[in-house]
């Protein structure tokens, strides 16, 4: 049984998600200790628990320690199944963080899997469902994995209750990711998203205006798609998602609105972050970097440049190598180039 110290590196939920995912795919039992030890609320949250129990269901695992607040867990995988699954986080916990566990497992399935998940779609400290669809999904397509987002109902903090339906197809044609230099910025898209309760205050329109005002003119001239999106939600909330399309890659950023922060400022912050990613020369944004290395380690490898080397990235690389010791993950903190070979 592989033993993982959950306090290693950044010590967060990413360790847990990656370890459970790799346990299912490699069929290696895992014991995880010190789960989120350094966090203000250590141990398993509702979102973590949903991901663990969902993974256990689709790979027939035997699990001990899967309860709220638990700081130790043993996970022994069994026979994999595919089909249609429904999971409910029960809070505004992020649906995309649950999907970070499920998508790689489903990608190694023999047939299509469909996941309907209820929870938070646009929440702090997690990719939004728009980022998942347009940036994560695009990067997966580059390496040969097809994912579709078939339905979205928004869920904001604190009540959540958003709903997404995701279809994951078997990953049959595994392509290496090979891009360390950006090639031709083709266009920029921006989506300003709000709950219906903020429509009368034109919050989504103001976020979009703030984004465009802050973005430098050369990039502003590249804006192709600009969407204002309102939808029903139990809690009021907002987000701004933007992505830059290059010929060979796609970079994305997200900013979540908060109380006492002007809508225009939320949009402006998103624009600043997008410019930073573009001007860094990255081919994979720093949020995507720690997610994509898992797929490159399981697939045909590759190399990319990211905007900065995060602790999430280094910690995830460490977890991956506990399960896949023959995979080399070279992280150059001078050039920000990551090279993964089998």
> Residue 307 has what DSSP assignment?
S
> In 3D, which of 302, 334, 329 has the Cα closest to residue 318?
329
For residue 175, give both structure tokens: 């392509």
The answer for residues whose C-beta is within 8 angstroms of residue 328's C-beta and 6 or more apart is 339, 340, 341, 342
- Residue 312 catalytic? yes
Q: What residues pair up with 116 in beta bridges, in sequence order?
A: 86, 165
Tell me the backbone φ, ψ of residue 209, rounded to 5 degrees: -60, -40
> In 3D, which of 79, 162, 182 has the Cα closest to residue 121?
162
Annotated active-site residue in 134, 191, 241, 312: 312
Q: Distance from CA of residue 299 to its chain's centroid? A: 18
> In 3D, which of 219, 140, 150 has the Cα closest to residue 173?
140
The answer to whether the CB of 319 falls within 8 A of the CB of 18 is: yes
- Which strand ranges, in their side-by-side order, compose the sheet holding 328-332? 177-179, 302-305, 337-341, 328-332
Place of tokens 């197809």: 169
CA distance 20 to 212: 41
For residue 234, give both structure tokens: 């139990």
Q: Distance from CA of residue 41 to its chain's centroid? A: 22
The length of the chain in residues reads: 342
> In 3D, which of 40, 27, 39, 38 has the Cα closest to residue 1?
27
CA distance 21 to 55: 7
For residue 10, give both structure tokens: 């950044």
DSSP 164-197: EEEEE----S---EEESS---EEEEEEEEEEEGG
CA distance 99 to 150: 14
Active site residues: 312
């Amino acid at each position: 049984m592989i033993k993982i110290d959950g306090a290693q590196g950044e010590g967060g939920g990413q360790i847990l998600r990656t370890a459970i995912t790799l346990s299912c795919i490699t069929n290696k039992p895992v014991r995880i200790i010190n789960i989120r030890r350094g966090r203000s609320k250590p141990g398993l949250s509702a979102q973590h628990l949903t991901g663990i129990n969902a993974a256990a269901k689709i790979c027939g695992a035997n699990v001990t320690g899967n309860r709220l607040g638990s700081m130790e867990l043993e996970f022994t995988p069994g026979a994999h199944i595919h089909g249609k699954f429904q999971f409910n986080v029960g809070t505004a916990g992020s649906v995309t963080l649950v999907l970070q566990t499920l998508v790689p497992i489903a990608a190694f399935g023999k047939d299509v899997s469909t996941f309907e998940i209820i929870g938070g779609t646009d929440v702090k400290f997690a990719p939004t469902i728009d980022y998942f669809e347009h940036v994560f999904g695009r990067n997966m397509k580059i390496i040969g994995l097809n994912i579709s987002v078939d339905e979205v109902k928004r869920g904001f903090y604190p009540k959540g209750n958003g709903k997404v339906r995701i279809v994951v197809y078997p990953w049959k044609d595994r392509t290496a990711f090979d891009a360390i230099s950006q090639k031709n910025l083709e266009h920029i898209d921006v989506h300003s998203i709000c709950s219906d309760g903020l429509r009368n205050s034109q919050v989504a329109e103001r976020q979009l205006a703030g984004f465009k005002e802050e973005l430098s003119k050369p990039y502003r001239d590249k804006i192709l798609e600009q969407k204002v999106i309102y939808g029903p939600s139990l809690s009021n909330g907002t987000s701004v998602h933007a992505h830059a399309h290059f010929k060979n890659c796609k970079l994305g950023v997200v900013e979540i609105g908060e109380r006492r922060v002007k809508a225009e400022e939320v949009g402006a912050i998103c624009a600043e972050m997008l410019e930073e990613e573009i001007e860094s020369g990255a081919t994979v944004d720093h949020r995507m970097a720690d997610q994509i290395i898992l797929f490159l380690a399981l697939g045909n490898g590759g190399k990319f440049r990211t905007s900065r080397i995060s602790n999430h990235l280094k910690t995830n690389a460490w977890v991956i190598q506990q399960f896949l010791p023959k995979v080399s993950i070279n992280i150059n903190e001078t050039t920000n180039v990551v090279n993964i070979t089998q």
